[in-house]
Amino acid sequence: MIEDLFTLPPARRQGVITSVIAAFADQLRANGCPTIFIGALANDRPKRLYARLGFRPVTLARTWVRKLAD
């Protein structure tokens, strides 16, 4: 699974993450990995990039949070 990728704003839209994901995918494939997962929230902008790279949604995850008193 590829996760927790982040690009600083000045470096965005330059192909950095696309190259990183491609390199990871190549390594995983070379080591016999048949399936690669990548995580994104349902409303996250990167999901469009992941779709362009050939990833498709397969599940919806929910995150639960509980705010504790100060």
pTM over 0.85: no
Give me the residues paired with residue 38 across strands. 2
Asked if 21 and 47 touch (Cβ cutoff 8 Å), the reply is: no
Place of tokens 């919806």: 60
**Alpha-carbon span 45 to 28, nearest angstrom:** 25
- What are the tens digits of pLDDT across the range 2-54? 888 888 999 889 999 999 999 999 999 999 999 998 888 777 788 888 889 99
Which residues have C-beta within 8 Å of that of residue 28, sequence separation ≥ 6? 36
pLDDT at 63 over 80: no
Other CB atoms within 10 A of residue 3 CB: 8
**Which architecture characterizes domain 1-70 according to CATH?**
3-Layer(aba) Sandwich (3.40)
